A and B are shown apart, each in its own frame.
Chain A
Amino acid sequence: MIEEFIRQIKQSSSYKKQIAHIEELPAHIASFGELEKPLPENLQRVLLYRKIQLYSHQAQAINEARSGKNVVIVTPTASGKTLAFNIPVLEALTSDEKSTALYIYPAKALANDQLKVLKGLEKESGIKADANIYDGDTPQHQRSNIRKNSRIILTNPYGLHQYLPWHYQWRNFFQNLRFIVMDEAHVYRGVFGSSVAMVIRRLLRICNHYHADPQIILSSATIANPKEHAKKLTGKDCEIVSNDGSPRGKKSFVFWNPPFIGSTNTLRRSTHLETKDLLTWNVLQNLQTLCFTTSRQTAELVTRWTKEELTAKAKPTNVVTAYRAGYLPQERRDIENRLKNKKLSGVVSTNALELGIDIGSLDSVIISGYPGTVISTWQQAGRAGRSNLESIVTLVAYQNPLDQYFMKHPSDFFGRSHEQAIIDLRNRYISLGHIMCASSELPINDLDKQFFPELLAESIQALEQEKLVRKTPRGWVYSGTARTTEVVSLKNISDKTVTVLCEGNLLETLTLNKAYEEAHSGAVLLHQGETYICENLDLDQLIAKVRQENVNYYTEALKDVEVTIDKTHEKSDKSTGIGLGELSITEIYHTYITKTYDTVIKRIPLNLPPLTFSTVGLWFIVPDEVKEEIENRGLDFGGGLHAVEHAMIAMAPIFAMCDRWDIGGLSTPLHSDTNESTIFIYDGFEGGIGISEVLYLKIKLLWEKTLELIEKCECKEGCPSCIYSPKCGNENEPLDKKAAGIILKEMLKVYATDCNNSRK
């Protein structure tokens, strides 16, 4: 069927050799496993009723868990991970009718989805666990009841962070806690992951206080270092279960590169339009398709255009819809259900559907633009392929160098290992904050070293110096005047949420930053493929008023980013001018453009106050002589600076134990504070999180490693392994690999000379 589909595409009149590569991923048959001892009768009945024979990885996971081990299950999407952890949990809850389990999900939508699954299992097995969600949305009057009666509670790390100081209300639950389940554990990486790791340690410390020692089960997408990651996340050794025994049909992975326009050899057709065509073909061929886009707006546009196309072909349009964050929960659930019931044949989604919400498996997945990581790409691709049936995945390239590189080097993608999930337990900002939180949960004493093996004594000393804890005969007691869990936050997200109203009715919600892009006055806000014109964005009340109006254009807000140095903490006296200090990052949205497809119609000035956040960052100055040298050789100096910035950020996680998404950068041939060519690298977190501090101390090593990266990379003009950034705000342009090499060599030379001079 898929082969036929591809053949038809190739024969169609609009085919212009877009297929750059097809990778055939072979089918594999199911391999089943045996349990070491039989399940209790009620669970056997469930499996029988569902006609389930356990796959090898499920059996292995259940065996390990039943023998009392902590487990991390690392198998692809839709391989039945959920059942693998639910069975040992339910068995424990059957054999001891007091025992409880805590499920931690990274997103509320996932918890909602899993609740249904658990309720179903409860019913079929006859186990009374009264599974319930307990999070920010749980009504106040239901809370005490859930804490008292539910034996399975589903929550998220943000909620847990807030509830831990109230452990006495959870006493029964914690006393009997047998299992902690963390689904989608790969999401907990970088700064966020490091914070969650500390929350888990606080949780285990409280369990220990109530004499409970819960077992841990993690499930994760494929990452390069699952064992290490699980250990860092939970502090416990986990057995890895990774031999996927679920059956897979053949999968064709197509690399699709939009064709050049006309006779040019430079400009390619819009990725969005190509995606629209592909989705339309898929739908017309009765392939149920999930299309991933890299932004909310693209999801809406592709939906809208596909509907237009279907209308032109006199086909029904209600089989296609968009899906993304910001939709009301009811709306989202409705789409999930219609997708599962096959009432929808095409859904265009942001990565909101990348995580494990159960929507069944699809015939086809279109990935519109490389999502930035190998992990995400495979997660999204994993949505296609029912057992034993053929499926197709199409990666549609953007014109940027990163996507184009993969189109030219497909084997590089398929041979590429999944990223590492990095967690840093020695980050002072994170650990100090959470040790303070812990001190407000139970007094801290020496025994707590088992939970906080890193930096505990030093942290307490520092907290005492600032009078945030006091020594008492019972241990160190928190004595600050603010709520610790309010001062320490897990993620650096602006909590300002803008509400979008249409004729007084709630349409959706979005963050303030997104509202600047999509809901300023005059903006076209797309919602389920319909166009709404924003009449007014009230920044005091945080309300955007929109009216529904059918227009044939959409809008894009343009911004400038400025970095200013507010305060210099440290500065080297070297001529490289390396500095570390407080920076303000200001985004100024100055104009918006209206577009029809890819054609710009109008430019209209915007009048919005700038968005600023302050953080800590490092900077260094590239001497004028280097600039001259590069320009004399006919290379692009700006492209060189930009490339150095990217490559340094790419290398930074090795030194600072963070995710590259935790870091920001800016390079400019003339900066108003330094009056020179300057490269900035800063923490992507309000107030700073310690990344730049580490990089500042190791700048020479960082330059050396970055230079090595660029020189050793076999590409000519740059590639994703060296200077291409998956999150560049400038579409990876300009970039100049040769110039970058020269800059780094010169920086190291200047640095060495300075060191020699200072020794004399």
Chain B
Amino acid sequence: MATFNKEAPGLPTIQGKIRSERVHKEKVALFRVAEGLRKRVGQSKEYEVVSEKESERQKRPVFENWILSSEYEEALKFEKQLLKQYRGKTLEESLPGKVVSNEQGECYEISSSCFAKFKRVTYEESKQVMISDLKVLPGIGPVNERLLKKQGYGTVEDLERHPRWKKQAYEYMELVDTKEVGAVQKWLWQRFPKSHPLLHYLAGFCQDHDFAIVDIETLGLSERPIILLGIAKPTKDHICTTQFLLRDIPDEPGAIWAMLAQLDPKLSLITYNGKSFDIPYIKQRLAYYGLDAYIDNPNFDILHFTRRALKPKLTDCKLETVEKYLGIKRDINIPGALVPHFYDTYLRTKNVGPLTPIVEHNRQDLLTLGTLFSKLYEEW
């Protein structure tokens, strides 16, 4: 068999010509196979387009990717319109921001600040709740708890005097008193479902500036590049968002690194399904590039709280649906499931139009998470 990448050396002989023809033919054939692969990649969708009728008839899965067919068509129309509107425009004029660089590469940073109320419980309130539930201690169930309360042990603190429970009570109280958010969170995850309100009350252990809301946009549900990483930091009445966008795929390691630089290990994350999606995804991408970074921040994954508190009131727990319930309105929006498609169009056309709603979608998600986090306290 002829080797592939070496053209026949020397003067063109007949054999040389035949050979280069064969090389060319093989290449053409390979391109045809790649085209077929591309088609199959295009057909393999991670979301389902359902008609209004179907969506009413079938029980909607809680956190699955589906889009109403009307929304789908609207989004495609919107994309066309954007391509027209942004033809010939640069990234800087369409999405004001700046190129930043770090040891892993470059990316495009977009910042904004927005007025928003961010509410959480105080440490005192929080502590009260955290120590009143005796079931936090391994071995104490509802029956034991009732009995102990009858005997006058109203809080875990009281149990420090109890002959049987004092050791564990002391251990727990030490974590509570030193405000070890991460350690208490891990303790509670062992004892309760992730949706337990105690895990939400735990936020009282933090200051406002201890939080970072994190949300990423990706080319798919796993194993594909992250295209945008958003991080937001709440203050008393403002939420400041910083987004790291990939101008193209080579920006990915730089963008991840830039976001991680903002993520002090002491910060508590607020995410929506971040425990199973965003954080493992970031870790997978780091490993993909052979990079090492340890992310072990406490994580307030409010998807779980939302499910527990709002599921009876909502058809599903997609963030868009929750927003409708909270009365938050988005000016521009595309369904989250279509983000990969819009970014793919940007990559193909180099027209920044389809990027704009992705950035806005992500920014809005960050803000909604801040609001939702505060509102949930009203539901317990």
Contact = CB atoms under 8 A, between A and B. Distances in A.
The 7 closest A-B pairs by CB, nearest first: A168-B287, A472-B250, A462-B34, A482-B44, A466-B38, A470-B249, A165-B223
A230 to B, nearest CB: 21
B4 interface: yes
Contact of B31 (A165, A462, A470): A462
B26 interface: yes
A484 B287 contact: no
Given A166-B284, A479-B219, A481-B220, A471 B250 contact: yes
Contacts of A463: 34, 37
A432 B30 contact: yes
A462 B41 contact: no
B113 to A, nearest CB: 32
Interface string B83-113: 0000000000000000000000100000000
A427 to B, nearest CB: 9
A137 B356 CA distance: 43
B58 interface: no
B248 interface: yes
6 contacts: A432-B34, A468-B38, A472-B249, A472-B252, A482-B40, A483-B46
B35 A466 contact: yes
A171 B283 CA distance: 12
Nearest to A484: B223
A399 B275 CA distance: 63
Contacts of A481: 41-42, 219-220, 224, 340-341, 344
A442 B253 CA distance: 13
A465 interface: yes
Interface string B207-234: 0000000000001111111000000000
Given A166-B284, A168-B283, A459-B30, A477 B249 contact: yes
A470 B284 CA distance: 18
B347 A479 contact: yes
Contact of A487 (B37, B288, B290): B37
A487 B287 contact: no
Interface string A429-465: 1001100100011110000000000110111011101
Contacts, number: 130
A478 interface: yes
Contacts of A640: none
Interface in B32-51: 33-38, 40-42, 44-46
Interface string B282-309: 0110111110000000000000000000
B27 interface: yes
Interface in A286-335: none
Nearest to A479: B249
Contact of A483 (B105, B222, B225): B222
B276 to A, nearest CB: 11
Contacts of B248: 470
Interface in A132-178: 165-168, 171
Contacts of B332: none
Nearest to B285: A168
Interface of A: 165-168, 171, 209, 426, 428-429, 432-433, 436, 440-443, 454-455, 457-459, 461-463, 465-468, 470-474, 477-487, 687, 690, 693
A467 B46 CA distance: 19
A487 B222 contact: no
Given A442-B290, A479-B219, A483-B222, A436 B31 contact: no
User: Which residue, B38, B221, B340, has most C-beta atoms of chain A within 10 A?
Assistant: B38
B77 interface: no
A442 B288 contact: yes
Interface in B1-22: 1, 4-5
B348 interface: yes
Contacts of A168: 283-284, 286-288
A474 B251 CA distance: 11
Nearest to A486: B44
A166 B280 CA distance: 10
Nearest to B45: A482
B185 to A, nearest CB: 18
A256 to B, nearest CB: 46
B220 A483 contact: yes
Interface residues of B, number: 45
Interface of B: 1, 4-5, 26-27, 29-31, 33-38, 40-42, 44-46, 105, 219-225, 248-250, 252-253, 283-284, 286-290, 340-341, 344, 347-348
A259 B29 CA distance: 54
Given A436-B37, A479-B347, 15 more contacts: A165-B284, A168-B287, A457-B5, A458-B26, A461-B27, A463-B34, A466-B31, A467-B38, A468-B41, A471-B250, A472-B249, A472-B250, A482-B45, A483-B223, A693-B29
B70 to A, nearest CB: 22
A454 B284 CA distance: 28
Contacts of B253: 474
Contacts of A465: 31, 34
A584 B305 CA distance: 51
B284 A440 contact: no
A39 B168 CA distance: 48
Given A168-B283, A171-B287, A470-B250, A432 B347 contact: no
A151 to B, nearest CB: 21
A477 B30 contact: no
Contacts of A479: 219, 224-225, 249, 347
B205 to A, nearest CB: 28
A194 to B, nearest CB: 14
B31 A487 contact: no
Contacts of A209: 290
Nearest to B225: A479
A468 B37 contact: yes
Contacts of B29: 428, 693
Contacts of B34: 432, 459, 462-463, 465-466, 468
Nearest to A442: B288
Contacts of A473: 105, 250
B41 A480 contact: yes
A428 B40 contact: no
Contact of A458 (B27, B221, B340): B27
User: Which residue, B35, B220, B340, B344, has most C-beta atoms of chain A within 10 A?
Assistant: B220
A449 to B, nearest CB: 10
Nearest to A470: B249
User: Which residue, B4, B34, B289, has most C-beta atoms of chain A within 10 A?
Assistant: B34
B220 A482 contact: yes
B44 A477 contact: no
Contacts of B36: 429, 687
B289 A474 contact: yes
Given A473-B105, A479-B249, A457 B4 contact: yes
B199 to A, nearest CB: 19
Contacts of B45: 482
Contacts of B341: 481
Contacts of B284: 165-166, 168
Contacts of B340: 481
B41 A487 contact: yes
A166 to B, nearest CB: 7
A474 B249 CA distance: 11
Given A472-B249, A473-B250, A455 B220 contact: no
A466 B225 CA distance: 17
Contacts of A486: 44
A429 B41 contact: no
Contacts of A487: 37, 40-41, 44
B56 to A, nearest CB: 19
A443 B250 contact: no
A457 B6 CA distance: 11
A204 to B, nearest CB: 17
